Structure 1
């Protein structure tokens, strides 16, 4: 079983990741800026703001096997997360990515398409920059999991497809994944690394 440090563990996706990790018997430390009391039995908590002092936060996380970042890209960038990982000497990093950086054609990202909603760019643009920065990192075993375009609460089915950099849809042209099945895919990667040093994606 792995010892997991989870940043953003109180958010929509983070809560599903926490539940999935506990379901599998992993030990989890949730990191948040404000105290949280409803994380469940056996879950450790560390208070801290990774964007304010990532090295200090990292010093509190020494001993974990993997750090999962489910933080928003608009407020937490790759420098913050990497500084915390390096300070903690955590060997592995898994990032909850976004769909905007997926390619709709070779070298053409979804975020660059004319129809990409302007309202989503405040999160999608820094998300793509985060991935670009990770691609230059060799001292941390990182992976970045991009969800489908429609990413929302749903069921845990365990039935989905994995992809790479390409934007994928189902037979009806829909690109969707639930938070719950995203968590399954990411915890599968934590347990059996198959995408170290690269991005992969998940879709129904």
Structure 2
């Protein structure tokens, strides 16, 4: 089993990824800003103070890791680009750098017309800065992440929420995966399954993929 560092492990998505990886036998380090607030994580998870936008944090945690998962949120637009730049800039040129798995935004996915969901006129304004920030990070990975292995994972653009872990999902590229009713839906629990599956069996290196039922 591998060693996985999860930045943002205290959040809803990050905690699910942490638990999924731990219960599948991986060594997991939860990198959070407030270690005292993570008592709900499994007892065997190592909890440290860490920040994906801190070069010092990345340098301290990267040597022990096979994968660095970015599941951060709650910041201003520049947060996700700062994290991407820090991770890539710190890892590039180091021996055997860990792979970056970035949980990105579903609004960066393409509509049937070819534009992005975040550019639609009815896209909620309160989510726009976060969506643009995740789009900035994706653009950076695609254009400037040479020398580092990365994967950007997008949930559905709208219906992504806590729920049951089924262990089943489908994957796609730059367009949402939809069911027979045209809906794209996923739980945080099954996103965690998909991310740990990707770490264990890489299928989307240096690209973006999306997950839904």
Q: CA RMSD in A?
A: 1.8
Q: Corresponding residue for 1:80?
A: 83
What's 2:184 paired with? Answer: 175
**1:187–1:110 distance in 2 versus 1, CA, 3 Å:** same
Mean alpha-carbon deviation: is it higher for 181-190 or for 55-64? 55-64
Shift in CA distance, 199/124, structure 1 to aligned 2, threshold 3 Å: same
Work out which of the residue numbers 29, 40, 43 in structure 2 matches 1:41: 43
Q: Which residues of structure 2 form unaligned runs of 5+?
A: none
Q: Is the 8 A contact 1:56 1:84 kept in 2?
A: no
TM-score, with normalisation over the residues of structure 2?
0.88
Could you report, residue by residue, the CA deviation over 1:27-50 in whole angstroms, capped at 9, with x for unpaired residues? 011111122351222211221333
Structure 1 gaps of 5+ residues are: none
Residues 171 and 177 of structure 2 are in contact (CA less than 8 Å); yes or no, is this contact kept in structure 1?
no
TM-score between the two structures when normalised by the length of structure 1: 0.91
Aligned to 1:130: 137
Is residue 145–residue 199 contact of structure 1 (8 Å, CA) maintained in 2? yes
Q: In 1, distance between residues paired with 2:115 and 2:153?
A: 18
Q: Is the 8 A contact 2:7 2:51 kept in 1?
A: no
Moved more, 180-189 or 37-46: 37-46
Query: 77-86 or 156-165, which moves further after superposition?
Result: 77-86
- Whether the 8 Å contact between 2:52 and 2:70 is mirrored in structure 1 is no
Stretch moving more, 110-119 or 142-151? 110-119
2:84 and 2:141 in contact (8 A); partners too: no
Asked if structure 1 preserves the Cα contact closer than 8 Å seen for 2:174 and 2:210, the reply is yes
Q: Distance in 2 between matches of 1:114 and 1:24?
A: 42
Look up the match of 1:192: 201
Structure 2 CA distance, aligned partners of 1:2 and 1:82? Answer: 24
